[in-house]
Structure 1
Amino acid sequence: MESLILAMIEYLKQLSYGGVVLALTFEFVPAELVLPLVGYWVYQGDMIMWLAILAGTVGGTFGPLTLYALGRYGGRPFVERFGKYFLIREKEINAAESFFEKYGAGVALFGRFIPGVRTAISLPCGMAKMNVWTFSIYTFIGVLPMTAIYVYLGYKLGPRWKDMAEIIKPYSLPIGAAVLSILIIYIIIKRKRTA
C-alpha cells in the first residue's frame, strides 16, 4: 500500500505545489509519509521550503474539510455506513465525538495533535454544525506546526527521509505531553471564563 501511495505522490509531483495540496486532500494518504518526501524535494531544489509548508498545510486543511462535510450533511448514520471507506471505524467516531462534547470547538485545533482522534475529529465538528470558517482556521493552525516539522525534517534528512519515523519516535511522547498540557490549560481557562 505504501509503495502505491508513494507512486501516486511522485506522479502528483508533476503538479508541483498543487500536487502536494491534492495528495494531502485525500484523508487516506498519511501526511507522515507525504511531508518528509516533500522535504526531500526541497532538499533536491525542486521546491521552496515555505511554499512546500504552505501547500502541505492547505492540503492538510482540505482533507479534514471533506470529513467535516460528511459529518455535517450526512450525519452519524451516513458516517457509520461509509466511514470505513475513509479508514474511520466506529471506535474512532465515538472517541472523537466524546472528545468534541467535552472540549467544544477547540478540538478542531487541539485534536490534530492526538493520535486516534486527529483524523476522525472532523466528523463530530461537522455533525455539530460547527461554523465552517472557525473549523477551517482552527484546522489550519493545528496542521501548520506538524507540517513544518515534517517538511523540515525531510529536508534535513535528505536522501534518508524514509528514516524519519524511527528518528521522530523518541520525541513523540514529549511533543504529545506538551500538547496535552496546552489542552489542559485551554480547558481550565475556558471553564473559568464560563464560571
Structure 2
Amino acid sequence: MLEWITNTISSLGYVGIALLMFVENLFPPIPSELIMPLAGFTARANPDKLNFFGVFFAGVVGSVAGALVWYYPGKFLGEQRLKRWADQYGKWLTISSKDITKAKHWFDSQGSKAVLIGRLVPGVRTLISVPAGISNMPLLPFLFYTTLGSAAWVGLLTYSGYVLGSQYELVDKYLAPVSKIVLGSLVLAFVVWVLKRRRKKTRH
C-alpha cells in the first residue's frame, strides 16, 4: 500500500494527494496517517515539485469531498436502509450496521460539534458524516465543521511529515496508540451520557 501511495503522489502531485484523501474517506483501511505525512515529507524533499501549503490544501479538499459522499446517503436513504446496505455490502468497506448505530448515537449526544471532533478521530472520522446526514444536519454547518476538523487533522499530519522528513512513518507508529486512547475516551463519554439519560428517565 505504501508503494501505491508513494507512486500516486509522485506521479499526480496535488491531484494525487486529493484523490488519495478522497478515497481514504470512502475506504477506512487506507490510512491518512501515511498519506499526509508522506506528502509532507515529499514537499520538504522536493520543494520545486510540491509545497507545504499546496499539500495541505489538496488534503483538505480531498477529505471534505470524501465526507460529502457519506453525508448524502445518510440524508436521502435514511438509517434503516443504510444499515441493511452495510450488513450486505459493508464488509468491502469494513463497516457494519453496528458502526452506523454507534456513530448515530454519538452524534445525537454531541450535536453538531460531533462532526468537528469526529474528523479528528481515526475510525470515527469516516462514518461521522452518516449520522449528520441521517439527522438532516444543514449542509453549510456540516461543511463548516467538516472543513475545520479536516484542516486540523490534515495540518497536523502534513506538518509532522514535513518536520520528521524521511522518518515520516513514525507518525503512524506513535499516533496509533494516541488515537486508541482518544477513541476509548469518546466511548467512555458516550456510555456516561447514556447512563445519565437513563437515570433521568427513571426519575421522571
Q: Shorter-chain-normalised TM-score: which range?
A: 0.7 to 0.9
- Structure (1 or 2) with the larger CA radius of gyration: 2
Confirm whether residue 33 of structure 1 aligns to residue 30 of structure 2.
Answer: no
Q: Give SS of 2:168's match.
A: helix
Match of 1:72 among 75, 82, 95: 75
Note the residue ranges of structure 1 that are not aligned, 5 or more in a row: 184-195
| Superposition map of 1:9-88 within 5 A | 10-26=7-23, 27=25, 28=27, 29-45=30-46, 46-83=49-86, 84=90, 85-88=92-95
Contact 1:17 1:51 in 2 (8 A): yes
Corresponding residue for residue 165 of structure 2: 158
TM-score by length of structure 2 reads 0.75
1:94 aligns with 2:86: no
- Structure 1 residue 34: deviation in Å? 0.7
In structure 1, how many angstroms separate the alpha carbons of the residues matched to 2:156 and 2:53? 12
Give the whole-Å Cα distance in 2 for the aligned partners of 1:137 and 1:30. Answer: 23
Aligned residue pair count: 178
Normalized against structure 1, the TM-score is what? 0.79
Determine if the alignment matches structure 1 residue 114 to structure 2 residue 112: no
- The amino acid across from 2:172 in the alignment is A
Question: Of 124, 130, 136, which residue of structure 2 is paired with 1:129?
Answer: 136
- Where does residue 195 of structure 2 map in the other structure? none
| Residue pair 1:9, 1:19 contacting (<8 A) in 2 also | no
- Deviation for aligned residue 1:112: 1.7
Partner Cα separation in structure 1 for residue 17 and residue 103 of structure 2: 27
In structure 2, C-alpha distance between the alignment counterparts of 1:153 and 1:12, rounded to whole Å: 17
Gaps of 5+ in 2: 190-204
**How many angstroms does 1:8 deviate by?**
4.9
Q: Percent identity?
A: 30
Give, in whole Å, the separation in 2 of the partners of 1:170 and 1:111: 17
TM-superposition CA deviations, 1:71-102 (whole Å, max 9, x none): 11222233224341433222221111001111
Shift of 1:12: 4.9
Aligned Cα RMSD in Å? 2.7
Runs of 4+ with deviation above 6 angstroms: none
- The residue that corresponds to 2:197 in the other structure is none
The secondary structure found in structure 1 opposite 2:136 is: coil
Measured in 2, the distance between the counterparts of 1:170 and 1:73 equals 36
